[in-house]
Chains A and B, each alone.
Chain A
Amino acid sequence: MIEIEGLSMDRDGVRVLDDVSLQIPDRSLTMLIGPNGAGKSTLLGLIARLLRPSAGHVRVDGLDVFRAASDAVARKLAILRQENHILPQLTVEELVGFGRYPHSRGRLAAEDRRQIADALHRANIAALAGRRLFELSGGQRQRAFLAMVLAQDTPYLLLDEPLNNLDPRQAISMMQVLRRAVTDLGKSIVMVVHDVNCASFYGDRIVAMNAGRLVAMGSPKDIVVPSTLRMIYGVDMSVHEVGGARIVQPFS
């Protein structure tokens, strides 16, 4: 379980995250939604100890991420951010191999190679394993980086808008990969999405933020209702029930 307690952060004197407390249960796909600048990426970055909070704690299975050794945390949780520095000559397989760093310290054993092959397969990029990053499209790079965090083989995965750069077909296949990781492998995933329909359709739970605060959380059925959406985004959206899922029609 990820326990977030009174988490706040100031940047240049501006409070970008304000007293967030939240528990993320195991074996669940949690969708983090909210308008731009709501603090979603900041929250994700803090949980993954990429940023330092002004106040508050984050514990992952009891491990204080700001105090514990970095590699101990790296065996608990993996994070994929939106922007990644591209080393042009790196092959996809080498990149995915870096996901094994907290386990192998750069020296790959048989188990590491098995995990790499498995991650390449699950992220649907095994066919491109020998390609170099400069040869790949944006969507392919996105999947290569996803394979890297999958290879890290952590119980918790934090993904910051993993559907960026992906066309609808790739986005659906990515969501299926993530859904299976939760259902079949028992992972816990927290991801930032902009598409409310994606959150509604694939999420077990939705956490909504606005202006650095949590404004709502619950199952898609609780969150995807016009009054709550209006509170989160400040616009009116009509909600329809299609095949058991709540679908939003955003443009009026």
Chain B
Amino acid sequence: MCALVEPRALRAGGRLLALAFVAVLAGVAFLTVGAKGDWGFVLSLRGGKLAGMVLVGVAIAVSTVLFQTVTRNRLLTPSVMGFDALYVALQTAIVFAFGAHGLAGIDPQLRFLLHVLLMLVVTGALFHGLIARTRGDLHLLLLSGVVFGLFCRSLTGFMQRVLDPNEFAVLQGLVFARFNTIEVTLLPVAGAALLAVLPLVWRLAPALDVLALGRDVAIGVGLDHDRIQRRTVALAAILVCVSTALVGPVLFLGILVSNLAYRLLASERHRDTLPAAALIAVTVLIGGQTLMERVVGLDIPLGVVIDFVGGGVFLLLLMRSQRE
């Protein structure tokens, strides 16, 4: 019996190593391809972007896998459920309520932490109940998420239209980060948040393996189901804050990388799938950006390309799940 387990663990380890190797290759390519002039300058400029993309990739991948485990559905991401739309709406609401100058006056790092706190309160109140109430009903959950996301986006749009144009300009600078213009000022605090969250996720992983089996089985084998579920949603919410603060909403990257990870690793263990999804996300982001910026030289934002490909994968998976 033991002999059966060991080669599987080895195989998963080997595949993770290979993924890590590819991710490092992509990182080196991003730093060096097409570099001219002073290396110190190039590396510090690109290094900041690289660090940003690593943080974003890891945050999106891990939050998606956590979220899919809680909802027991591999077609959902926090974005599809409106988590990042909520983050943007919260930011806009603060500007709306207190004025852009009040907000701009606060240290950006502190502001980020405030947003995280607010996000935890709102998602904690909303989603735990939602997941419990729509238990098992994918369509209801998906629909609620889409409607909720739409609501947040409409609310954001409404508040932005009513805003004073000067305040709107300030807000735009705060909210509309993109891959090409990563919020470098937030890197330290976002990195710190990620480093604080990842060990907690790792420690939670064996319980997540049980959570994935469904509520009844999880309680049956003695898991404190509701507490673990609440904790998982909270960790996912913090990670959504990290990625959304740095580059804004990215809808479909999570679906793309989580499903690739499940395929490649052929494992249901979170200590396999979480790192695999994170490595794939980092590779896709850095590799994609290298291709876009240096090789193809096209001026299409990476986020658009990722949402295009990821959206295609989402549709494909959705249609296949319908057939089953």
B72 near A93 with CB under 8 A, answer no
Task: Give chain A residues whose Cβ lies under 8 Å from the Cβ of B214.
Answer: 84-85
B220 near A50 with CB under 8 A, answer yes
Report the stretch among A101-109, A170-178, A194-202, A222-230 that lies at the interface: A101-109
Q: Which of A50, A75, A90, A148 contacts B216 (CB 8 A)?
A: A50
Q: Which of A70, A80, A117, A120 has the most chain B CB within a 10 Å cutoff? A: A70
Interface residues on B, range: 20 to 34
Q: Which of B206, B207, B220 contacts A149 (CB 8 A)?
A: B220
B222 near A89 with CB under 8 A, answer no
In the complex, per-residue mask of A34-66: 1 if CB is within 8 Å of any chain B CB, else 0: 000000000001001110000000000000000
**Residue A78 interfacial (CB < 8 Å):** yes
Q: A93-B1, A106-B207, A129-B1 are in contact. Are A84 and B217 (CB under 8 A)?
A: yes
Query: Complex: how many Å from CA A129 to CA B1?
Result: 8
B221 near A106 with CB under 8 A, answer no
**Residue A99 interfacial (CB < 8 Å):** yes
Task: Give chain A residues whose Cβ lies under 8 Å from the Cβ of B266.
Answer: 89, 132
Q: Which of B213, B216, B219, B220 has the most chain A CB within a 10 Å cutoff? A: B220
**Residue B224 interfacial (CB < 8 Å):** yes
Q: Which of A72, A102, A130 contacts B221 (CB 8 A)?
A: A102
Q: A50-B216, A85-B213, A130-B4 are in contact. Are A99 and B268 (CB under 8 A)?
A: no
**Residue B210 interfacial (CB < 8 Å):** yes
B268 near A70 with CB under 8 A, answer no
In the complex, per-residue mask of B207-245: 1 if CB is within 8 Å of any chain A CB, else 0: 101101111110111111100000000000000000000
CB distance from A36 to the nearest CB of B (A): 20
Query: Complex: how many Å from CA A91 to CA B4?
Result: 10
B221 near A99 with CB under 8 A, answer yes
A102 near B72 with CB under 8 A, answer no
Query: Complex: how many Å from CA A18 to CA B232?
Result: 36
Query: Complex: how many Å from CA A130 to CA B222?
Result: 25
**Residue A87 interfacial (CB < 8 Å):** yes
Task: Give chain B residues whose Cβ lies under 8 Å from the Cβ of A73.
Answer: 222
In the complex, per-residue mask of A90-119: 1 if CB is within 8 Å of any chain B CB, else 0: 110110001101100111000001001100
Q: Which of B1, B222, B225 contacts A102 (CB 8 A)?
A: B222
Query: Complex: how many Å from CA A55 to CA B2?
Result: 46
A89 near B216 with CB under 8 A, answer no
Q: Which of B217, B262, B268 contacts A94 (CB 8 A)?
A: B268
Chain A residue with the shortest CB-CB distance to B272: A89
A87 near B206 with CB under 8 A, answer no
**Residue A4 interfacial (CB < 8 Å):** no
B268 near A85 with CB under 8 A, answer no
Q: A84-B217, A87-B213, A106-B207 are in contact. Are A70 and B224 (CB under 8 A)?
A: yes
In the complex, per-residue mask of A72-84: 1 if CB is within 8 Å of any chain B CB, else 0: 1111001111001
> In chain B between 258 and 281, which residues have their CB closer than 8 angstroms to a CB of chain A?
262, 266-268
Query: Complex: how many Å from CA A132 to CA B213?
Result: 14
Q: Which of B72, B220, B225 contacts A85 (CB 8 A)?
A: B72
CB distance from B66 to the nearest CB of A (A): 16
Query: Complex: how many Å from CA A71 to CA B224?
Result: 8
**Residue A210 interfacial (CB < 8 Å):** no
A93 near B4 with CB under 8 A, answer yes
A81 near B216 with CB under 8 A, answer yes
**Residue A142 interfacial (CB < 8 Å):** no
Task: Give chain B residues whose Cβ lies under 8 Å from the Cβ of A94.
Answer: 268
A152 near B221 with CB under 8 A, answer yes
Query: Complex: how many Å from CA A75 to CA B303?
Result: 49
Query: Complex: how many Å from CA A130 to CA B8?
Result: 10
Q: Which of B209, B217, B267 contacts A106 (CB 8 A)?
A: B209
Task: Give chain A residues whose Cβ lies under 8 Å from the Cβ of B225.
Answer: 70
Q: Which of B217, B223, B224, B268 has the most chain A CB within a 10 Å cutoff? A: B217
> Residues of B at under 8 Å CB distance from A?
1-2, 4-5, 8, 72, 206-207, 209-210, 212-217, 219-225, 262, 266-268
Q: Which 6 A-B pairs have the closest CB atoms?
A: A74-B222, A106-B206, A71-B222, A85-B214, A102-B222, A101-B221
A-B contact pairs, 20 of them (CB 8 A): A45-B216, A48-B220, A49-B219, A73-B222, A74-B222, A78-B220, A78-B221, A81-B217, A84-B213, A84-B214, A84-B217, A87-B213, A89-B267, A91-B8, A93-B5, A98-B209, A101-B223, A106-B207, A116-B1, A152-B220
